[in-house]
Structure 1
Amino acid sequence: MFWKGRNLYILLAFILLAMFASSVLTLTIVGPFSFAEQGSGVSGSKPGASGFTQQELKKLSTTYELIQSQYLHEVDRTKLIDGAISGMLGSLNDPYTTYMDQKEAEQFNDMLNSSFQGIGAEVSLEEGRVKVVSPIKGSPAERAGIRTNDIILSVNGEKLDGLSLTEAVMKIRGAKGSQAKLQVMRGGAEPIEIVVVRDDIPIETVHSEMLDGGVGKIEVREFVQNTAKAFKEQLKALEDQGMKGLVIDVRGDPGGMLQAVVEMLEHFVPSGKPIVQVEDRTGKREQTVSKGSSKPYPIVVLINNGSASASEIMAGALKEAAGAKLVGEKTYGKGTVQVTYQQELGDGSNIKMTVMKWLTPNGNWIHQKGIEPDIAVEQPAYFKASPMSKKTTLKADSLGDDVKNLQLMLEGLGLSPGRTDGYFNDKTAQAVKTFQSRNGLPVTGEVDTKTAQSIEDAITKQIRDPKNDLQLKTAVDTVKKAIQ
């Protein structure tokens, strides 16, 4: 969640889809913010909080003078000041609290005010490493196989260790058509290389369709400025078609603006019931209460570990205040609120700082815990297969993660490889030959770059086919049972 300065300007956080920074895991709240003065730490509401003691000032000044006068190399004054601020914020060990110098802040603002291109994945900086929160649905990152919790180690050979989140994001962003060769570590296994071709990032945030049995489905990809309006229009269109039940899909949705999700929830949460609560560091809470009404039909929400922030507010509110069922996997677990301070610094730089937490209608704080589904459903194993590295040709007696992922894909394509433990046996070779024969490739039983790419393309098509989406199928069945 995200307020910009004390005036609560609406921040279009989704623009960082080009390569989301952690701030995109944020929500924008529009309206009075009574916690701002007492909770920001800027106004000095507590004794001693308004500035440094004389001893503290002397210590800082002495350190600065020693560096300027004694350090081996001459140091830029601005660099020292920026480093001091970054050091203070870094000591908080909060991945959502960061400093942007003038250049970084300018680049950030440029992304907010222009069209953008990139790979389309949201990241945060955790323990000094760039971690993927969620690839955006339909983005180049998703198509290339980037997943939630992937650690991005380098981009086009440039390591990301030691960089600020903004610096790392700028390395990953790039012009449409250019390649980002990402070295990715997944689940502690050996790093793999995933090549993502940068592109325009899709900005359509709501997609709806009518499924069999009068079940409507609305997919929400992000919560941004126009999402609530599009959601309202598409919800009405489904209702006008005689919809009997609704599935809302927020899988892989990294969040966005709180105002958007509140407006959307007011279609379902009865008037007077809380939608979300926020709490400052003193424990004082404020509620956002619905002014809307409930619906007469059953609702199911699809969630997974890429559902974060605003998605979790939607899931939590629909479950606790509207009686909806949650289907899928546990959500990401992002329950804090950030404010950006730019005017206060006065030189074009800014600080984004965590200032409060948000809670569900019943007062549950889901931070680092997520929200559990009512009906847990995992996708087939091949949904989680990683792209093969394509560094070497896979053949009889090959071992390793590449072979294991190959076998998972072959199994998903209905070609029995005999095993999925990462050993390339005769049955795996026969499955490869069958695939090659069906797809006009040289029938060798070995997996070179061309065969590997063809297998990956085939499994991607399989994953995108709704008929293979077990979570969606369960959600639809759950709605149909409730209709009956």
Structure 2
Amino acid sequence: MTFKGRTVLAFILLSMFASSIMTLTIVNPSIFAAGGKDGAALGGGASGLTGKDYAKLATTYQLIENKFLNEVDHEKIVNGAINGMLATLDDPFTVYMDQKEAQQFDENIASSFQGIGAEVTSEDGKVTIVSPIKGSPAEKAGLHANDVILSVNGEKLDGLTLNQAIMKIRGPKGTQAKLEIGRSGTPEPISVIVVRDDIDVETVFGEMLPNNIGKIEIRQFASNTAPRFKEELKKLEASGMKGLIIDVRNDPGGLLSAVVEIVEPFVPKGKAIVQIENRKGEKEETPSQGTGKPYPVTVLINKGSASASEILAGALRDSAGSKLVGETTFGKGTVQVTFEKEMGDGSNIKMTVYKWLTPNGTWIHKKGISPDVPVEQPAFFKVAPLSKKSELKPDMNSEDVKNLQTMLQGLGYSPDRSDGYFSDKTATAVKAFQRMNSLPVTGEVDTETANKLEKAVLTAIRDPKNDLQLKAAVQQVEAAIGVKK
């Protein structure tokens, strides 16, 4: 990708630093190429550290090394100083990575990984899930966008950098991560056990829906995503596709070059795909070289659509007239540059240096992109897993019972209420579920019944007939191509 013919020089990071794949693209817009404090290069000058500054830092280190009560680790002190400087920027996307973290970062760009499969960021010092990767252990365990990870295997994450927290969340395939989760609307933390696994790096899935409506799901924007998207699009067009749905729900982002390559054919030549803005407020846009498409395109978005997904949604709406269906997106409108070469020892700093704007000039950071057609999914799509701390029985009143009732209602049973009181009709609904699933018919929810319920809910969530957002997107395309009912 180029900006007005300038050669590509700096690494631009669009996705959150995550427990999943970290991707980079190479870009350096001409207005940012000068170097120094406004460019990608590091430069000296009057704004640098003075001799007095260096003396203060050296004195502080010497005092710690020679006077502190306990022996100190040199590398830990130096890394702490770097983290301290970056922490004053109050930006969760600007982070320092030591050699081990930087190596892991590099591996994630080009290969699969082992972990729970969730994109995370830091919000107000809390490790927050941007979105679980579809089909991952995190999704199967019932983790949601905006869940806060409070602890991992009993270790609190308070006070850790995002990278340090991620190192605790990740781990070898087959190992357990017992997470304590904070969720909006749930007064008590939720305990969730996630079994780590290899995370599928396939990013694009295409299919033809009834009435020749194509659907392509993009799970993240990786190095192979644009070629795979082109393959699926070509198949659908060759099969007589009349309209297209692009699904970027729970897509945490990725390569800027990938999203530009995917979007460009849909945007007429000369129209903007994205704008970049530097600290001086200078802007530069990426104009399309495409021709546009003769069929309507609708984009599915939700709270887990972040970064590159938001660039796609904004570009297609502003410059191609596409409709957005679903929920307001995550809201990440900044761009990061990595400085591994400058650090010189295998460590790395990823720093926010630019904003990105939609073609119409909107900065969506911390606000997200609102859909043209707002659609909420059924309540059971966002229900919390049952804690399984104790059996649920008649006359109990708890948040667990409330979640149980939401699950039963979503599965087609009738608990008669949803306020958390375990009534006789709730017990009758439990018995009906147990009978249908060859479980002991007790009307009480033990661990076996709870596990079966959660598995049934996940199956129901994956059933397209329950996907109200997809149904709404299909209706949008049907109306545009003149399908008669």
TM over 0.5: yes
Q: 2:103 aligns with which of 97, 103, 106?
A: 106
Cα distance change of structure 1 residues 40 and 77 upon mapping to structure 2, 3 Å threshold: farther
Structure 1 residue 199, shift from structure 2 partner: 1.5
User: Is the contact made by 1:160 and 1:168 (CA closer than 8 Å) also made in structure 2?
Assistant: yes
Q: What corresponds to 1:326 in structure 2?
A: 324
Q: What corresponds to 2:420 in structure 1?
A: 422
Amino acid in structure 1 at the alignment position of 2:229 = F
Q: How does 1:41-190 map to 2 (within 5 A)?
A: 43-44=42-43, 48-49=46-47, 51-187=48-184, 189-190=187-188
User: Is the contact made by 1:329 and 1:378 (CA closer than 8 Å) also made in structure 2?
Assistant: yes
List per-residue Cα deviations over 1:352-393 (Å, max 9, x = no partner).
100010000011000000000000000111111111011100
Q: 1:8 aligns with which of 6, 10, 26?
A: 10
Q: What corresponds to 1:349 in structure 2?
A: 347
Amino acid in structure 1 at the alignment position of 2:207 = E
User: Is the contact made by 2:40 and 2:337 (CA closer than 8 Å) also made in structure 1?
Assistant: no
1:189 partner SS = strand
List per-residue Cα deviations over 1:216-273 (Å, max 9, x = no partner).
1111111111111111111111111111111110000000000000011111000011
- Residue 435 of structure 2 corresponds to residue 437 of structure 1: yes
- Residue 466 of structure 2 corresponds to residue 468 of structure 1: yes
Aligned residue pairs: how many? 472
1:154 partner SS = strand
Q: What corresponds to 1:447 in structure 2?
A: 445
Structure 1 residue 11, shift from structure 2 partner: 7.5
Q: 1:272 aligns with which of 266, 270, 273?
A: 270
Using structure 1 for the length normalisation, give the TM-score: 0.93
Amino acid in structure 2 at the alignment position of 1:437 = R
Q: What corresponds to 1:242 in structure 2?
A: 240
Cα distance change of structure 1 residues 409 and 180 upon mapping to structure 2, 3 Å threshold: same
Q: 2:378 aligns with which of 367, 377, 380?
A: 380
Structure 1 residue 44, shift from structure 2 partner: 4.0
Structure 1 residue 400, shift from structure 2 partner: 1.6
List per-residue Cα deviations over 1:100-157 (Å, max 9, x = no partner).
1223223333444543221110011222221101101111111111110111111122
Amino acid in structure 2 at the alignment position of 1:149 = N
Using structure 2 for the length normalisation, give the TM-score: 0.93
Amino acid in structure 2 at the alignment position of 1:478 = Q
Q: What corresponds to 2:4 in structure 1?
A: none
List per-residue Cα deviations over 1:310-363 (Å, max 9, x = no partner).
000000000000000000000000000001101111111111100010000011
Q: What corresponds to 2:20 in structure 1?
A: 20
User: Is the contact made by 2:112 and 2:201 (CA closer than 8 Å) also made in structure 1?
Assistant: no
- Residue 407 of structure 2 corresponds to residue 413 of structure 1: no
1:344 partner SS = helix
Cα distance change of structure 1 residues 223 and 110 upon mapping to structure 2, 3 Å threshold: closer
Cα distance change of structure 1 residues 314 and 115 upon mapping to structure 2, 3 Å threshold: closer
Unaligned runs of 5+ in 1: 1-5
User: Is the contact made by 2:15 and 2:307 (CA closer than 8 Å) also made in structure 1?
Assistant: no
Structure 1 residue 179, shift from structure 2 partner: 1.7
1:75 partner SS = coil
User: Is the contact made by 2:222 and 2:258 (CA closer than 8 Å) also made in structure 1?
Assistant: yes
Structure 1 residue 74, shift from structure 2 partner: 2.5
Structure 1 residues 339-348 or 110-119, which shifts more?
110-119
User: Is the contact made by 1:12 and 1:224 (CA closer than 8 Å) also made in structure 2?
Assistant: no
Structure 1 residue 57, shift from structure 2 partner: 2.5
Q: Which runs of 4+ in 1 moved over 6 A?
A: 10-14
User: Is the contact made by 2:11 and 2:24 (CA closer than 8 Å) also made in structure 1?
Assistant: no
Aligned-residue sequence identity (percent) comes to: 63
Structure 1 residue 183, shift from structure 2 partner: 1.1
Q: How does 1:206-285 map to 2 (within 5 A)?
A: 206-285=204-283
Amino acid in structure 2 at the alignment position of 1:324 = S
Structure 1 residue 279, shift from structure 2 partner: 0.4
Amino acid in structure 2 at the alignment position of 1:93 = D
Structure 1 residues 32-41 or 231-240, which shifts more?
32-41
Structure 1 residue 81, shift from structure 2 partner: 1.6
Structure 1 residues 64-73 or 268-277, which shifts more?
64-73
- The whole-number CA distance in structure 1 between the counterparts of 2:14 and 2:115 is 17
User: Is the contact made by 1:181 and 1:195 (CA closer than 8 Å) also made in structure 2?
Assistant: yes
- The whole-number CA distance in structure 2 between the counterparts of 1:454 and 1:360 is 44
Structure 1 residue 61, shift from structure 2 partner: 2.5
User: Is the contact made by 1:217 and 1:249 (CA closer than 8 Å) also made in structure 2?
Assistant: yes
Amino acid in structure 2 at the alignment position of 1:20 = S
2:261 partner SS = helix
Cα distance change of structure 1 residues 133 and 105 upon mapping to structure 2, 3 Å threshold: same
Q: What corresponds to 1:340 in structure 2?
A: 338
